[in-house]
């Protein structure tokens, strides 16, 4: 090694030792007679001192010339500092340098390599290798590393075997668009990159592996958001000879283990809530359960009183924002604007202030007298000082909009506490979801999910009413993972494809290999996959998954550092038998 110690390890017990450190210049201070350099590496920062009369002049001259992010090597004696810095682990000591070497210079970095940087996101992505030098980013990657080790530790202990599955495969329907790769050796044919290893892990169960896991890249060509990347990582798992409860116990156990080991937090047993209940109470299949503010439906009390907005609505439903009766006109207008945003889509917001004196003030006083409003307040369990916020309209849309308002109010009232962890299982998802646009059913999870046995007979008569043995793990309003018990019977799987609108031939062509395998003794099986990047972000209390990925893509799916995607040469195109067409107009 070029060094004897790292920049994070020297303490007062090392005083008197001669050491050699290497690293980057975090900053250099030239006070005339004395020069200090803060030397940084992954492990910390150590101060170097160069002092006239003590340090050789030629070395001081060299030290004066270095700039930020120069890579240097310095040898010297560990000495006690004149003025100690109790904010730094190495703050009791400094190194009195007597040998000094610049290993490499550096251009002035395009943004400051500090915890709080002046660099915007685009610039930081372009120079990601500089961004990773900053503590907050490096720490996130280290958290990811620790998570990976702990996941492996837990699953290994539970007898899971880590098996790699291929990336060049054919379509796996997880509901997104595929990324495709042309095959040179098979003209006019394409591989698809896996949206998940779903079919392979099922085949591993048929193969008798019994318990499989993989920390694996998945690829989905869909619109990006803060918590989505075109390539992302899953902790993908599958178990044979299990029922839903076994999967829930195993992975609730894993999540508890991760929180305990990484955050020192003992999680209690997870809440369990059915999909229907989650939608009715919170308008979301991933409710943030760190706070209550449950929906309260008002159809019975609010309809038929001549207020046409309510009378024409399928659903009248609201939340109680406790202690918010004092909200000003301006604050209420801001909430109305919030729910009317196109992405939320409500037409308006009705409020009822439950005044301290027991009276009520609402935006619908014309239609509802004090007695009526009192009835509402009772239904909401509201106290004087509370504010009821009510939406009306088509059922699903209204629930969705109220979910957004609930989250917004939770945020405003400080109820979405980063330090709290509310973990839950959402259970009993519908098997299928009707899609208006294509006028057919889609699998809500994926086509391999098993219907609940008691609902199987509805496959012909009432497919929309079938529930599945499918489950999502939701932590603080984020879907951390999801899975299901699978179909392991050829007939049922074929039936499922039929309900999803596949012809026999299409089903055979795409999934014949899986249905074929089911004819050779497929065990009952089920599993789950966690969004690993997301799980890291949840663990750190962050929204965006980007910083937990070493080299992420931007919102347009571009890697701006390596400038990809990019063009390929005519030779490559010819070899692949591809011809480019005029780009579509934007």
Tally of residues, the chain: 586
Output the CA–CA distances (angstroms, integers) from residue 271 to 268, 334, 425, 476, 529, in the order listed: 9, 34, 6, 12, 19
Shortest distance in whole angstroms from residue 472 CB to ligand ASP: 9
In the window 480-499, what residues touch ligand ASP (CB under 6 A)? 482-484
Question: Considering beta carbons, is residue 35 or 528 the nearer one to ligand ASP?
Answer: 528
Question: Considering beta carbons, is residue 25 or 485 the nearer one to ligand ASP?
Answer: 485
Shortest distance in whole angstroms from residue 460 CB to ligand ASP: 25
Sheet holding 478-485, edge to edge: 161-162, 211-219, 231-240, 525-531, 478-485, 470-475, 423-427, 271-274
Question: Considering beta carbons, is residue 291 or 429 the nearer one to ligand ASP?
Answer: 429
Pair 380, 354: CB distance under 8 Å? no
The residue within the footprint of ligand ASP, chosen from 22, 28, 90, 198 (CB under 6 A), is 198
Question: Considering beta carbons, is residue 318 or 526 the nearer one to ligand ASP?
Answer: 526
What would the x/- binding string for ligand ASP be over residues 155 to 174, using CB under 6 A?
A: -------------------x
Question: Considering beta carbons, is residue 46 or 196 the nearer one to ligand ASP?
Answer: 196
Shortest distance in whole angstroms from residue 200 CB to ligand ASP: 10
| 242 makes contact with ligand ASP (CB under 6 A) | no
| 244 makes contact with ligand ASP (CB under 6 A) | no
As given in the structure block, the two tokens for residue 530 are: 């966690």
Shortest distance in whole angstroms from residue 195 CB to ligand ASP: 7
Read off the DSSP letter of residue 240. E
Task: Give the CA dihedral 150, 152, 158, 160, nearest 10 degrees.
Answer: 160
What would the x/- binding string for ligand ASP be over residues 251 to 270, using CB under 6 A?
A: --------------------
- From 498, 467, 470, 502, select the one nearest 484 (Cα to Cα): 470
Enumerate residues 6+ apart whose C-beta is below 8 A from 305. 311, 367, 368, 372
Q: CB under 6 A: which stretch of 116-124, 317-325, 478-486, 537-545 binds ligand ASP?
A: 478-486
Shortest distance in whole angstroms from residue 123 CB to ligand ASP: 33
Shortest distance in whole angstroms from residue 468 CB to ligand ASP: 11
Question: Considering beta carbons, is residue 22 or 198 the nearer one to ligand ASP?
Answer: 198
* DSSP line for 425-493: EEE--BSEEEETTTTEEEESS-TTBPBPGGGTTHHHH-GGG-BBSEEEEEETTEEEEEEEEBP--HHHH
Question: Residue 56: how many CB atoms within 10 A of its CB?
Answer: 13
| 469 makes contact with ligand ASP (CB under 6 A) | no
Dist. CA 475–CA 211, nearest whole Å: 25
| 528 makes contact with ligand ASP (CB under 6 A) | yes
User: What is the distance of C-alpha 290 from the center of its chain?
Assistant: 17
Pair 123, 520: CB distance under 8 Å? no
**How many residues form the binding site for ligand ASP (CB under 6 A)?**
9
Shortest distance in whole angstroms from residue 473 CB to ligand ASP: 11
Pair 186, 209: CB distance under 8 Å? no
Question: Considering beta carbons, is residue 310 or 518 the nearer one to ligand ASP?
Answer: 518
Query: Inter-axis angle of helices 395-412 and 329-340, to 10 degrees?
Result: 140
The residue within the footprint of ligand ASP, chosen from 19, 151, 421, 529 (CB under 6 A), is 529
| 527 makes contact with ligand ASP (CB under 6 A) | yes
| 373 makes contact with ligand ASP (CB under 6 A) | no
Read off the DSSP letter of residue 169. B
In the window 441-460, what residues touch ligand ASP (CB under 6 A)? none
Shortest distance in whole angstroms from residue 158 CB to ligand ASP: 16
| 476 makes contact with ligand ASP (CB under 6 A) | no
| 233 makes contact with ligand ASP (CB under 6 A) | no
Shortest distance in whole angstroms from residue 535 CB to ligand ASP: 13
Q: CB under 6 A: which stretch of 157-165, 263-271, 523-531, 570-578 binds ligand ASP?
A: 523-531
Instruction: Burial-class residue 484 by CB neighbours within 10 Å (0-12, 13-18, 19+).
Output: buried
| 214 makes contact with ligand ASP (CB under 6 A) | no
Binding residues for ligand ASP, rule: CB under 6 A, are 174, 196, 198, 482-484, 527-529
């Amino acid at each position: 090694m070029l060094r004897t110690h790292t920049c994070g390890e020297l303490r007062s017990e090392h005083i008197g030792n001669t050491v050699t450190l290497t690293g980057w210049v975090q900053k250099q201070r030239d006070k005339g007679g004395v020069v200090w350099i803060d030397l940084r590496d992954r492990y910390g920062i150590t101060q170097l001192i160069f002092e006239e009369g003590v340090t050789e002049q030629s070395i001081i001259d060299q030290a004066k010339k270095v700039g930020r992010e120069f890579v240097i090597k310095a040898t010297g004696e560990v000495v006690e500092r004149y003025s100690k810095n109790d904010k730094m682990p190495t703050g009791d000591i400094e190194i009195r340098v007597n040998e000094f070497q610049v290993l490499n210079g550096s251009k002035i970095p395009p943004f400051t390599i500090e915890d709080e940087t002046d660099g915007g996101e685009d610039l930081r992505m372009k120079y990601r290798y500089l961004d990773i030098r900053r503590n907050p980013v490096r720490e996130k990657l280290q958290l990811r590393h620790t998570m990976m080790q702990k996941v492996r530790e837990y699953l290994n202990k539970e007898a899971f075997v880590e098996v790699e599955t291929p990336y060049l495969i054919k379509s796996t329907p997880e509901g997104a668009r595929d990324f495709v790769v042309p095959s040179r050796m098979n003209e006019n044919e394409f591989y698809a990159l896996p949206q998940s290893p779903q079919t392979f892990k099922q085949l591993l169960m048929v193969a008798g592996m019994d318990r499989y896991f993989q920390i694996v890249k998945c690829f989905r060509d869909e619109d990006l958001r803060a918590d989505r990347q075109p390539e992302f990582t899953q902790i993908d798992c599958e178990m044979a000879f299990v029922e839903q409860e076994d999967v829930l116990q195993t992975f609730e156990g894993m999540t508890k283990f991760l929180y305990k080991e990484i955050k020192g937090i003992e999680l209690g047993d997870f809440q369990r809530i059915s999909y229907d209940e989650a939608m009715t109470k919170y308008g979301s299949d991933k409710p943030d359960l760190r706070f209550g503010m449950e929906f309260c439906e008002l159809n019975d009390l609010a309809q038929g009183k001549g207020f046409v907005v309510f009378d024409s609505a399928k659903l009248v439903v609201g939340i109680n924002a406790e202690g918010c009766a004092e909200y000003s006109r301006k604050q209420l207008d801001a909430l109305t604007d919030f729910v009317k945003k196109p992405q939320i889509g409500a037409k308006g917001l009705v409020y009822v202030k439950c005044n301290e004196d027991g009276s009520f003030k609402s935006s619908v006083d014309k239609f509802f007298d004090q007695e009526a409003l009192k009835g509402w307040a009772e239904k909401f369990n509201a106290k004087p000082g509370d504010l009821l916020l009510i939406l009306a309209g088509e059922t699903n849309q209204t629930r969705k909009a109220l979910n957004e308002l609930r989250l917004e109010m939770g945020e405003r009232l400080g109820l979405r506490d980063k330090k709290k962890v509310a973990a839950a299982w959402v259970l009993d998802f519908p098997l299928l979801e009707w899609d208006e646009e294509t006028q057919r059913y889609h699998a809500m999870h994926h086509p391999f999910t098993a219907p609940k046995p008691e609902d199987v007979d509805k496959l012909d008569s009432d497919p929309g009413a079938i529930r599945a043995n499918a489950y999502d793990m939701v932590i603080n309003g984020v879907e951390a993972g999801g899975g299901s018990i699978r179909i392991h019977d050829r007939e049922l799987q074929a039936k499922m494809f039929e309900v999803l609108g596949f012809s026999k031939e299409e089903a055979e062509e795409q999934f014949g290999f899986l249905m074929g395998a089911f004819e050779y003794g497929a065990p009952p099986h089920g599993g789950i996959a966690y969004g690993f990047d997301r799980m890291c972000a949840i663990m750190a209390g962050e929204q965006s998954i980007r910083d937990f990925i070493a080299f992420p893509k931007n919102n347009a799916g571009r890697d701006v550092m390596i400038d990809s995607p990019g063009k390929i040469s005519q030779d490559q195109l010819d070899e692949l038998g591809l011809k480019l067409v005029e780009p579509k107009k934007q």
